[in-house]
Structure formats: C-alpha cells, structure tokens
Amino acid sequence: MHKLALAVVRITIVTFFSTTPFTTLLASDEEAIELDPLVVTTPLEQKVSETALPVTVIGGDELRIKATSTLGTTLENEVGINNQSFGPGVGIPVIRGQTGPRVLILQDRIGSLDASTISPDHASTVEPLLADKIEVLRGPGTLLYGGGAIGGVVNVIDGRIPDYIPEQIEAGLETRYNLVNDGKAVVFRLDGGLNPFALHLDGFYRDNNNVKIPGLAINPLPQEAAASFNTDGFIANTEGKALSGTAGASFVGEKGFVGLSVNHLENDYGIPPAGPAELVQIGQKQTRYDIKGEWFDPHHRIEKVRLRASYNDYEHTEFENGLAGTRFKNDAFEGRLEMVHNAIGPLLQGVVGLTGLSRRFSAIGDEAFVPGSDIARYGLFVLEDLDAGPWLFEFGARVDRSSVDPVSSPGVTHTPWSISASGVLHLIEDSSIRLALSRNQRAPDVVELFAFGPHLATNAFEIGSRDLRVETSYNLDLGFTFDREYVNADVNLFYNHYDGYIFQANTGTFFDREIDRFETACSEPAACLPVIRTRQQGAVFKGYEVNLLFPLADTDLGGFDLTLFSDYVRGTFTGGGNVPRMPPLRYGAQLGRRLTTGYGDWNSTIRFTRANAQTDPGANETSTAGYNLLNANLSYRIESNEQSELLLFIRGTNLLNDEIRLSTSFLRNLAPQAGRGIEFGIRARF
C-alpha cells in the first residue's frame, strides 16, 4: 500500500482538453462515437455503418484511458489488432498479421513520413497522447492511400490544424503516472481564436525508467544467453524520454478554411537487451510542417475540394555504448488533393484524388545497412458510390508510379495498380451485411530491395533483393452486423491470397563480425549475427474477428454489459511453411459498468484475454507460450458546465503479472511485455 500512496502523492493535478469536431460541438467525444461517427479516413467520410471494411474508432474518455506512449500498445487489445513491440520504446500496430510497410500510419490522413517502416526498432513519431480520435481500417486501404496500406490503415486525428473557431478559449492539461516503469507524462492543449483566425497549441513531456517484468528478461536459450547479459525483474536499457510541441493556425471562412502547423519532437529510448559491452540507444528528432485546407461548394457539381500536404525533417542516431553510430535521415514531402463530387445520375457521391510523395533517405555509419536513396511515388485514384435499392455499392481504382534510386547502384521502378468493389446491404433495425472484393498491389520498399549489412539493433545481417516484383493480393472480406436490444454483434471473415508476398526470412546461417565471413554454423556466439534475407513467395492469410456485446441491465442511472470477443489469423506459404511472426488465437470477455449520479459519471471495465501458444512461428523462428492477460480500469468524470470537466482514472494492466512474450515481436526471447502495471491519470478542461 505504501507504493500506492506514494504514487498518488506524486500525481500532479493537471488537465487536458480533447477538441471535438465542429459537427459535434454539442456532444462529448464519447457520445459522438456511440452515435455512428463519421470515418474521416475514408475520402467520402462515411459513417461506420456505411463502410464495407471493418473500422475501429476510439475517442473520448475511452481513448484517454487507453492511450500509451506507442500506437501498438494503445491498440493491442482491439479485435484484429496486435502489437509488434521492440522493447517498451517501440510499438507498431499489427493488423490481421500485417505490419511494417504494409500498415500505413497516418497523421490526420497523411503519412507519418518517419523511418518506422525501415526497421522494427524505429519508433513511429505519431503520438497517441495528443490524439482526439484514432481510426483503424482493418483490411486493404491501398485504393485510398497506396501500397503502404495493403494490410490496413491507422489514422491518428489530433486537431493540430483547427477547422473551426472556438467561441472562447479552450484549455486543458493532463498528467499520468505508471508504477510499472515509474513512467510520468504531462500533456497540455490550448485552442482559441479571433474571427477569422483559429489558433492551436499543444505539447507533452514523457519520462520513464526500466520496465518491470515477472522474472528473467531473456529466455534461457543458449544462443541468446551467451550473447547478452540477463536481468531479473526488469528489462535493462528500457528507459525513455520524449518532448514535443506544436503550434497551428487557420483562416476560417464561410466557404472553408486553410491552415498550417509546425511540430518539433525529440524522443530518446533504449533498445534491449543490454550487456556489459553492448548498449544501444536511439535519439530521434523531427520537425514537421503541415498544411490543410477545404473549399466547400466551389461548384454545384462539386461538394468540396480538400488539400493536405506535409514536409518532414526527420533524423535519428543509434548510439552504441554512448558513442554515435549509424545516423538515419529522412527528408520527405507528401501531398494529397481530393475533389468530392455530388450525385450524378445513379452515382450518389464520388471522389477523384491525386497523391505525391518525394523522399530523400540516407543512412551514414558503420551499420548503414540500407543505401541512401531518392524515393518517389505518384498516384491517381477514383472512388464512386452507387445506390441500388437496399444495396449501397462502392467501386474504385488506383494506379501508382513508384521509384527507388540508390546513390550507389541503378534504381528500380514499379507501377502497381489496384481495383475494388464492395457492397453494404442494410437489413432491418441497424443490421447489415458487408462484402468487399479487391485486387491490390504494393511496390517493394528500399529495405526489401537494397538492404545489405549488419544491423545491431535487430541483431541481424539483413540482405535485400533488387529483383523483387510487385506484391499482389486478392482479398475477400465478409462482415455481418446485428443490432438488437439484447445483443450487438459484429462478425468479420477475411481471406487474402498474395502473389509474391515479400518477407524477411531467417536463413539459419550466420555472419561473423570479427572475421567478416558468412558461416553455416555459429563458431563465436558473441560475434554471430543471424542472416535475414528478403524473399518472395505466394502466401495465404485467413481469419476472423468477432465482437458480441450483451446489455445485461440498462437504466437511466447506467447499466452493465458483457462483451465476448475473439480474433484469429493464419498465415501460410503456398509452397508449404508458415509466415513468420504471426499473432496467436485470442479470445476473452469484458464486463463493463456505467453509473450516473448527481455528482458525476462512473465507468469501469474488467477485461480478460486468453492468447494461445504460437506453435507455427515460421522457419528458424521460436515458438511462444500462451498467456492470460487481465486488464481493468475505473474512471470518474465531473462536469461543472459545458466548458469545464474533470476526469480521474486508474488503469490496471497485466494484473495477473503473467510472462507475456509476443509472437509478433523480433525481441520475444529478449524482452517480454511489461509486468503488472497500475497507472493513475487526471485530466481536466476549462
């Protein structure tokens, strides 16, 4: 109890405000999400019930409680979404078994433009603590955003460019503290303006120590134990510190708005494991400039024109034992122009869009395993809605031109193209059947094409292949939504067949750094690096996602509800064998309680997840044991008026203190997930 009391004392009372969009100013974020929200990740900004692909939307108090330092840990308990951790400092979402260059992370509908797809140890620069809402499209979003979305899309909406003028200054602050790593975070936000200008400021500071775990960090495997120094009860070299600030401004008129923002981020984190002679840390810096604008009703046939553009000056340095090693730089510009038209004949609505990306990537240092390259991608897409009685159909097509030009060798060019057709059949009382068919293509990225060299952070010697062809997937997605007073059911089945699936395979051979030679067997464990080679082969992914909500009691003062959930994905190669690093079967139950009193609103949940063992890890990969995960949270919200609110919450994670090693993680044998964690938070707006 003394630790609990100490933690409460250490909490500083601060506040945070989540600005609602101008369409929901009279409702809280949580209420808006319950009312079938618009999904702005889709160009037509459809409601959740109108989309053929499964959509996960998190916002309001739910997001405030779930938000962590990484997107992977923020979303890892949603159906169909897992986490590819690389120690506590890095967490990238895994959607239906896909991650890295196949899952596109967006910041308000445009790319993050960082280096997170280059290597699994590179953290994303998108910050969940500053998000108003997170939308996840499960399934191919290639048609809308190009090949980087062939596995799914994660869009973080943070309101850094205002799209309306607040009636008065809106401000807030938040603080949180976590016992599992002595993690402290403070967030602030300020929105205001004077017609016709709107202003926005935000920032955060985060600091944490080594994360606590239940037992040894490194599995007792001979090849791992010999190469690293083991720790008991914590993971060494998992400290982290981050600081960020943003300023944004917009000109807002009756016919639209245009605005810009500037953000600077510094993020330092350690890469486990750490031994007496090996300590790897990453120092990340980014300055990002964003432009956003919308023009409403420029013509009777055109509903709106949208512009989105970003320039990012990104770099990070990998420090080895305190000395600067490899330095990665990524200077990138991305633009997006969309025109949404009104109904034309049987077409309800449609959008035509142009996208462009220009990126200069470089890696300098002893472990520059990827050559400096100029990367470009240009795309054109069209998407149309068709009303056919009870069915709402959507058809679309996209073509891209993608090129990668290394400084030291001839470049390669690809022309991927994609088409899709989907339909939603609305049944009685908010029930529907969804069907989506698509053919999607992705061009290989710079790492898959040209990697060659040792990469200490991943503890591997990586080899690419310039002969890779375009990766093609054929996809079927079937969904069913059933909404009644006694049950709300959401069931999704999917099947993806890949022609030429690109993956990193552990060859079972080694590279000896001391003698600079490849070996079939490791002669010196301390100097050996496993050889990882990029290969291409046919593959099939199939699985399901189920979410069943049962209202057990519902009164004016609140109620109980029970949720049963499960997800599963199986990835196999058509020639035999298993796709590496696939998530296991998961299933479980959640009990929720809501209570409204004259003093405030109480909300609580307790969620139990069982994950089975992953016994099909892929060639030369290790299996992972099953685990039990028990999470719980309790929140209390007080509203004094429409502008003032206080939210207090406590969140418990891995309350059973189980040893959890994720099959999706490259470090599963070196760095398990955090042990029992208790986090306290206070948020207020005024």
Looking at residues 447-456, what average pLDDT do you find?
A: 90
225 pLDDT more than 90:
no
- Model confidence pLDDT, tens digit, residues 576-589: 999 999 999 999 99
Looking at residues 238-259, what average pLDDT do you find?
A: 96
513 pLDDT more than 90:
no
49 pLDDT more than 90:
no
List, in order of start, the domains of the chain with CATH numbers.
Answer: 2-685 (2.40.170.20)
pLDDT grade, residue 230 (50/70/90)? Answer: confident
Tell me the pairing of strands 373-388 and 81-85: unpaired
How far apart are the C-alpha atoms of 503 and 514, rounded to whole Å? 28
pLDDT grade, residue 522 (50/70/90)? Answer: confident
Which of these, 48, 203, 228, 96, lies nearest to 671 by C-alpha position?
228
Give 390's DSSP letter: T
DSSP H or E stretch at residue 379: strand 373-388
Which is higher by pLDDT, 654 or 219? 654
Tell me, what's the pLDDT at 19?
Answer: 31
Instruction: List all residues 6 or more positions away from 471 whose beta carbon is below 8 Å from its beta carbon.
Output: 147, 150, 441, 442, 443, 444, 498, 499, 500, 501, 502, 536
Tell me, what's the pLDDT at 621?
Answer: 87
- Model confidence pLDDT, tens digit, residues 105-145: 999 999 999 999 988 899 999 999 999 999 999 988 888 89
Tell me, what's the pLDDT at 457?
Answer: 66
Tell me, what's the pLDDT at 357?
Answer: 97
Looking at residues 37-64, what average pLDDT do you find?
A: 84
Tell me, what's the pLDDT at 14?
Answer: 29
| pTM metric for this prediction | 0.91
Total residue count of the chain as it appears in this document: 686
Residue 370 has phi, psi (to 5 degrees) of: -125, 130
pLDDT grade, residue 524 (50/70/90)? Answer: confident
Residue 129 has phi, psi (to 5 degrees) of: -65, -20
Residue 10 has phi, psi (to 5 degrees) of: -75, -15
Cα–Cα distances in Å, from 361 out to 113, 309, 329? 11, 19, 6
Tell me, what's the pLDDT at 605?
Answer: 96
Which is higher by pLDDT, 352 or 13? 352
Please report how many Cα atoms fall inside a 13 Å half-sphere around the Cα of residue 291, on the Cβ side. Answer: 10
- Model confidence pLDDT, tens digit, residues 370-401: 999 999 999 999 999 988 878 889 999 999 99
How far apart are the C-alpha atoms of 626 and 613, rounded to whole Å? 4
CA torsion angle for 446, 448, 450, 455 (degrees, to 10)? 100
How far apart are the C-alpha atoms of 320 and 455, rounded to whole Å? 12
Share of the chain above pLDDT 70, in %: 93
- Model confidence pLDDT, tens digit, residues 283-292: 999 999 999 9
CB atoms within 10 A of CB 429: 9
Which of these, 462, 497, 501, lies nearest to 477 by C-alpha position?
497
How far apart are the C-alpha atoms of 16 and 248, rounded to whole Å? 17
How far apart are the C-alpha atoms of 622 and 171, rounded to whole Å? 49
Tell me, what's the pLDDT at 346?
Answer: 82
308 pLDDT more than 50:
yes
SS3 of 430, please?
coil
Most confident of 247-261, 335-349, 446-460: 247-261
Tell me, what's the pLDDT at 633?
Answer: 96
221 pLDDT more than 80:
no
Tell me, what's the pLDDT at 566?
Answer: 98
Which is higher by pLDDT, 365 or 681? 681
| Contact (Cβ atoms closer than 8 angstroms) between residue 127 and residue 105 | no
Gyration radius of the chain over CA positions: 24
555 pLDDT more than 80:
no
In the chain, the amino acid numbered 348 is L
Please report how many Cα atoms fall inside a 13 Å half-sphere around the Cα of residue 40, on the Cβ side. Answer: 18
Cα–Cα distances in Å, from 671 out to 203, 302, 414, 631? 30, 53, 38, 20
pLDDT grade, residue 455 (50/70/90)? Answer: confident
Cα–Cα distances in Å, from 23 out to 93, 109, 163, 339? 29, 18, 10, 20
Tell me the pairing of strands 460-463 and 528-555: parallel
How far apart are the C-alpha atoms of 89 and 207, rounded to whole Å? 11
Tell me, what's the pLDDT at 390?
Answer: 82
Which is higher by pLDDT, 272 or 220? 272
Which is higher by pLDDT, 553 or 351? 351
pLDDT grade, residue 276 (50/70/90)? Answer: low
DSSP H or E stretch at residue 529: strand 528-555
pLDDT grade, residue 99 (50/70/90)? Answer: very high
Q: What is the mean pLDDT of the chain?
A: 89
Q: How far apart are the first and last CA of the chain?
A: 33
Tell me, what's the pLDDT at 228?
Answer: 52
Looking at residues 561-567, what average pLDDT do you find?
A: 97
Alpha helices, DSSP H, located in 102-226: 142-145, 222-225
How far apart are the C-alpha atoms of 101 and 199, rounded to whole Å? 34
How far apart are the C-alpha atoms of 582 and 571, rounded to whole Å? 7
36 pLDDT more than 90:
no
Q: Is 434 left (phi over 0), alpha (psi -120 to 50) or beta?
A: beta
Tell me, what's the pLDDT at 15?
Answer: 28
How far apart are the C-alpha atoms of 177 and 11, rounded to whole Å? 7
How far apart are the C-alpha atoms of 359 and 268, rounded to whole Å? 24
Which residues does residue 399 pair with via DSSP β-bridges, in sequence order? 380, 417
SS3 of 582, please?
coil
Tell me, what's the pLDDT at 277?
Answer: 62
Tell me, what's the pLDDT at 226?
Answer: 45
Tell me the pairing of strands 417-426 and 391-406: antiparallel
Cis peptide before 196 (omega within 30 of 0): yes
Which residues does residue 434 pair with via DSSP β-bridges, in sequence order? 424, 479
How far apart are the C-alpha atoms of 198 and 382, rounded to whole Å? 32
CB atoms within 10 A of CB 21: 17
Cα–Cα distances in Å, from 20 out to 24, 29, 285? 6, 6, 29
Concatenated DSSP letters of 48-110: GGG-SS-EEEEEHHHHHHH--SSHHHHHTTSTTEEEEESSTT-EEEEETTB-GGGEEEEESSS
Tell me, what's the pLDDT at 471?
Answer: 97
Cα–Cα distances in Å, from 686 out to 14, 17, 33, 240, 433? 11, 8, 22, 31, 43
Instruction: List all residues 6 or more positions away from 120 whose beta carbon is below 8 Å from its beta carbon.
Output: 84, 86, 90, 92, 100, 458, 666
Site of tokens 């048609």: 143
